[in-house]
Structure 1
């Protein structure tokens, strides 16, 4: 073992330590894990009957949980004051403090004060004044002005995720905390979702450059900033990652090397890729952290400095967090309505719509019985706006209008804005884009009147989607970019992910697949880190389509199947049907007709079971085009007519138009030009009151060609084509304008 360590750690090496929460769990530090914090807070903040179910949720992130705590219960995050009861450093804290004194560097993502306490215990009264925890923006900028940190008299500790206070100076530094999902995404520049803030980069790069980076007590789960930053700077000499194990014997220590990235954990893949791409040596050492430091690292790095003798007190001297938290006013007698709101949002954050709805409906009943108008309004809004909502659109609108009236009565513009957005979304789903835009603009104007930057995110996002639906791609991109600009200031990453995906979809539809893929991959990474599985299935759906467009069919299948597995895991039947549809389409493209039909039938079965009319129409259309491409026109026509019947039940114009178009294409192939022409007349009649110039132009062109084939009337046909050409000129589509010129030339030459 020592011989191997000799090769890993050389006498000339300088060190920087990156340390996470795991270093503070050992006695006498005895800081509870994030999981323990969540367990105790859950017991206080949710209805008793929901405790066990919520705690069983493996995907519940500490940051997501704290987001809701701060929103509803503890705005100042006073529960973190518990860390002031944990001021007795353990051996690891003393080891790190000796390294700071020896001019090695320590970076921590922890909120506790144990490294500072160890430094105070080791230094004289005069030297203690030189302890400088780097917490605030100004400190990062000031310290970066020092050219040679080794010559500085200060003892520096870089607290990368901030701290509630600077215990050396007593200064309140609450603004620095990065402990919620929003704060993890806040103050990021464009393209910096997964890295530390720009003002921290200069000095952190400096303290890592040309040094051995040793990672302790850290699982690598903070991928919002740490690991991406380490991938970005590539200035360190080598990385040694101590992966903690419970066994304390030296013979249990294992040094791992990686020859491929198969079956590796997230941080193992990180080490493998750094080594492979940048030729930087990386080591993963599985060891009990305390044992590895006391038996190997202390002597190797600190050499003659004696190991600090730690007095481990009896655990009973420490207040228990579960008992301590009961003394905070914020957590005493939390009212039942707040508990139901909180529990619902926890389920919602985990994409558990069914339990979110159940809890919020119960909360609604309680709010009504207590005449709590604010609670009633919020529960009404939440229930009516849930994804995968089984309610009719008219019922949802009724609930949202009722909530809006209550919010107006309460002079609550935020609640009113939320209702306006959700009403707009219902109209958008009904393809009534004009009404949808009207409600979105009302919501945006309401937030702008109150200078609410964060509140403008959702209406901006919705306006982008609405503009995209009517073909205004440039306007859509403008709105999406505004969303990203806002989120980079406010930090709500779920909306950034949505905006990135929507931008990707716009580029995909414009044929810029590589560009689209970059945006969608970034959106997917945010979703993975937020743990939002339904959103992951949507991103994977689009990513699969892009790989398909690029001809990379294996990657397309991989993306579709990844999404399908996730959708099946959470019973997301809508995504399941959609992904099965895409997999069937890909098999059809590859001429695997039997597999395609089998998979489409599975998707249709789901659609029929859950009355998913839109998806059913799309799948029947795919099956129809498959038959059409094989020359089975009668089968194709039967499938398209079946799709039309379903679309007309729903009454959504877009689906009726899409299916009419399919029937017209087959009719044209069957040389039934009269039927094709009459169908295009119906399509244009449906479009006459809408604003989608692109669709009007497309179908005018098709109608002109069908009319000529039907009647031989070249003058009228050319007039129709010129009308279409004029619309394409308004759109700036020179390619299609040229194609129509060829259509007209063909008609002239046929006379």
Structure 2
């Protein structure tokens, strides 16, 4: 929220806010349908009733206690596992009695005002059926499907044609006026919220709806009813993009009949964001984005409609003449009505559902508990397919916890089962998961092979969701190999698929990966753009873990810019969230990053203190990968301070861990660091062994740039031993690699080293040739310091040969 936002008490009375001369559009949410005689259950109650039937009894309270358990997430997992058609929404067919708010809205539609609803029910249409003559019922136009939004873009023309439109921007299962099935229009799940949204537009209204929204709101007062603002997925971002509004009035429901009116605008007397509600912060952002008034009214919604809005908009229709109970019929409770749909769900399926929810919400211990119980049940009923399913979950959980070899065993067990069952889709998942372990362990060729096998299977099956994972993982291998264009190609293809299937979680992860590519290419502004969009998704999904990662990545960009204050701000915000989550591992990572800023600022003691603090936390947690990183950083500081024995001690400790877990990438890098110290301490033979071992690993895992650097150092050691033949062979091998990876700086250095060896051999013609080739490249690179050195070498040779 911008710093110049304030909340001020509004002095005008309600009647002055709502004058007949203004033009109004009403945006209404689920809250309007909860009053009698409608009595629609709340989203929270629907979730509770669904969990009672779909989750294991001993996990229901654990799930309900989770702050980020959203209606959309529960519905998505039910649709994935139990109920593709979301039959529970058919309950809305039984809710046919509109309440006073529905009748108010239907009456104002007949008087030329516009109404937009995010609700799936049919109650505004039912109210219109009540207030209109029978022969006018055909003129009620619910705008639900994509075709409807494209065809009925102009509400003014509809009104002039004596039509009564209701704009249902989250869709509906059917059009009750025409009887048409419109199930495809429903936006009930996290995936549906992410579909058909392009880059940078994840939570805005779909593009095909935007012209209609513009026409509904242009130069009008927008009144929002029955909407909390806490789950503002596509509504909040859309409202932030409405500079063409005249005014926004948001009615926040309370139990009170006392009116509290607040005007939100840009002035003095600041209020800090942390003291404001989510809704107030959102309205402040909307106020910042446009030049229109934003007003918040806190009051009982029904009371407000009945005592204020009714008199302003419907003065000739006395509210006391409205009969809300013309038809009395027994409507079953939602919890009773859905029992026949879900009461026979098998216990093993309930654990799958619960596992998904816990894992999605990063409740790792709970997901582990449910997976272990699920395996026991699967074994009791001899359900091998379900056992494989839970084995994969245990693999993913152990992978997150850093238990890579244990995870690999679980994945291999799952693969064995799926191959015995000839379950091709399951095999694809197993191969992909096994590949991710090989990737972590630095076995990139093996990882690449597993990912490609998995990709071939999912492409045959047409499984778009699994294809996202394969493309992402293949992209990651390319990224590690510094083949950034190929990595980007795979990431972007995967993002397009997330937009088709609406997978917001993985879209955020991919946007983060794309940001990392641009950062590696030194395109920092583009990196920030992708990180910011990913952060918006994580924020609106309530993914605090994702926020920690993204804030850290944004901090690193500012770190690169040498904007250390902003970097520290991002790292500190990330640290605060990690502490809020109680995630010690993420906390350690944030502290480590703060240490890196101190190091860049030259505050060495503070940096060392932070690195040690991060290591102390990780010692308690036991994540081997993170311990390697923190030990390496501490070793680096000791190395920079010329405390070589201490540095070597830390590097050696990290090397033991890397060796134990089979992380070849980190093992090889640590060997080179220890070798570098050995050279400083004139332990040349020991250094040679370290570099030679590193070269073998770099060759195996395909890290050619590091292999070249190590071969160059080996050449220097051979020069010290006066073994010019082997020195020359090492430098020539280095040159071949640098030419292969197109590293001009490396090529120039290699030619210079080869020239130097030939000089020592007395082969001056060959030496001159290599020096001159090196000189050309250093000149092109504008490396004046090297140019001067090489010119002096050439001059020395020319003097020796009498030129």
For 2:282 and 2:29, the matched residues in 1 are separated by 17
| 1:440 counterpart residue number | 451
SS of the residue corresponding to residue 338 of structure 2 reads: helix
Mapped pair 1:262 → 2:272:
yes
**Greater CA deviation, 449-458 or 211-220?**
449-458
| 1:459 counterpart residue number | 470
| 2:761 counterpart residue number | none
Shift of 1:367: 1.0
| 1:278 counterpart residue number | 290
Give the alignment of 1:685-704 within 5 angstroms: 685-704=696-715
For 1:185 and 1:730, the matched residues in 2 are separated by 42
For 2:39 and 2:630, the matched residues in 1 are separated by 58
Distance verdict in 2 for CA 1:707–1:567, change over 3 Å: farther
| 1:197 counterpart residue number | 206
Shift of 1:30: 1.2
Residues 349, 532 of structure 1: 8 Å contact kept: no
**Greater CA deviation, 342-351 or 528-537?**
528-537
SS of the residue corresponding to residue 551 of structure 1 reads: coil
| 2:346 counterpart residue number | 335
SS of the residue corresponding to residue 142 of structure 2 reads: strand
For 1:304 and 1:729, the matched residues in 2 are separated by 86
For 1:106 and 1:671, the matched residues in 2 are separated by 81
Shift of 1:536: 2.5
Residues 222, 245 of structure 2: 8 Å contact kept: yes
For 2:116 and 2:156, the matched residues in 1 are separated by 18
For 1:295 and 1:566, the matched residues in 2 are separated by 44
| 2:628 counterpart residue number | 617
Distance verdict in 2 for CA 1:647–1:170, change over 3 Å: same
Give the alignment of 1:189-228 within 5 angstroms: 189-228=198-237
| 2:383 counterpart residue number | 372
Shift of 1:497: 1.1
| 1:136 counterpart residue number | 145
Distance verdict in 2 for CA 1:676–1:499, change over 3 Å: same
**Greater CA deviation, 568-577 or 434-443?**
568-577
Shift of 1:388: 5.0
Q: CA RMSD in A?
A: 2.8
Shift of 1:131: 0.5
Residues 110, 161 of structure 1: 8 Å contact kept: yes
**Greater CA deviation, 294-303 or 124-133?**
294-303
| 1:545 counterpart residue number | 556
For 1:92 and 1:738, the matched residues in 2 are separated by 78
Distance verdict in 2 for CA 1:144–1:707, change over 3 Å: farther
Deviations 1:375-423 (A, max 9, x none): 2221222222225555854443333233223333434322221111111
Structure 2 unpaired stretches of 5+: 1-9, 751-773, 779-785, 797-803
For 1:705 and 1:34, the matched residues in 2 are separated by 70
SS of the residue corresponding to residue 63 of structure 2 reads: helix
- Bigger Rg over Cα: 2
- Superposition TM-score, scaled by structure 1 size: 0.93
| 1:321 counterpart residue number | 334
Shift of 1:704: 4.8
1:429 to 440, 443, 453: 440
SS of the residue corresponding to residue 167 of structure 1 reads: coil
For 1:192 and 1:248, the matched residues in 2 are separated by 39
Shift of 1:509: 1.9
Residues 181, 493 of structure 1: 8 Å contact kept: yes
| 1:530 counterpart residue number | 541
Residues 193, 224 of structure 1: 8 Å contact kept: no
Residues 673, 707 of structure 1: 8 Å contact kept: no
Mapped pair 1:184 → 2:196:
no
Give the alignment of 1:290-689 within 5 angstroms: 290-307=302-319, 309-311=321-323, 317-326=330-339, 328=340, 330-386=341-397, 392-667=403-678, 679-689=690-700
1:21 to 14, 27, 30: 30
| 1:173 counterpart residue number | 182
Matched residue pairs, number? Answer: 746
**Greater CA deviation, 710-719 or 451-460?**
710-719
Residues 471, 694 of structure 1: 8 Å contact kept: no
**Greater CA deviation, 62-71 or 511-520?**
511-520
Give the alignment of 1:100-179 within 5 angstroms: 100-144=109-153, 148-179=157-188
Residues 263, 294 of structure 2: 8 Å contact kept: no
For 1:373 and 1:643, the matched residues in 2 are separated by 40
For 1:315 and 1:527, the matched residues in 2 are separated by 46
Distance verdict in 2 for CA 1:177–1:308, change over 3 Å: farther
**Greater CA deviation, 691-700 or 97-106?**
691-700
Deviations 1:480-536 (A, max 9, x none): 011111111111111111111111111122222221111112112222222333232
For 1:615 and 1:380, the matched residues in 2 are separated by 25
Shift of 1:300: 2.6
| 1:93 counterpart residue number | 102
2:52 to 17, 34, 43: 43
**Greater CA deviation, 221-230 or 452-461?**
221-230
SS of the residue corresponding to residue 129 of structure 1 reads: helix
Residues 587, 593 of structure 1: 8 Å contact kept: yes
Distance verdict in 2 for CA 1:471–1:122, change over 3 Å: same
Distance verdict in 2 for CA 1:688–1:735, change over 3 Å: closer
For 1:439 and 1:231, the matched residues in 2 are separated by 44
Deviations 1:347-373 (A, max 9, x none): 112211111111111111111111112
SS of the residue corresponding to residue 333 of structure 1 reads: coil
SS of the residue corresponding to residue 252 of structure 2 reads: strand
| 2:753 counterpart residue number | none
Residues 99, 302 of structure 1: 8 Å contact kept: yes
| 1:53 counterpart residue number | 62
Distance verdict in 2 for CA 1:278–1:611, change over 3 Å: same
Residues 239, 286 of structure 2: 8 Å contact kept: no
Deviations 1:641-687 (A, max 9, x none): 33334333333221122223333444555676776565433322221
SS of the residue corresponding to residue 363 of structure 1 reads: helix
For 1:266 and 1:733, the matched residues in 2 are separated by 51
Residues 443, 664 of structure 2: 8 Å contact kept: no
Residues 414, 455 of structure 1: 8 Å contact kept: no
**Greater CA deviation, 130-139 or 340-349?**
340-349
Shift of 1:145: 6.5
For 2:320 and 2:790, the matched residues in 1 are separated by 94
Structure 1 unpaired stretches of 5+: none
For 2:66 and 2:125, the matched residues in 1 are separated by 35
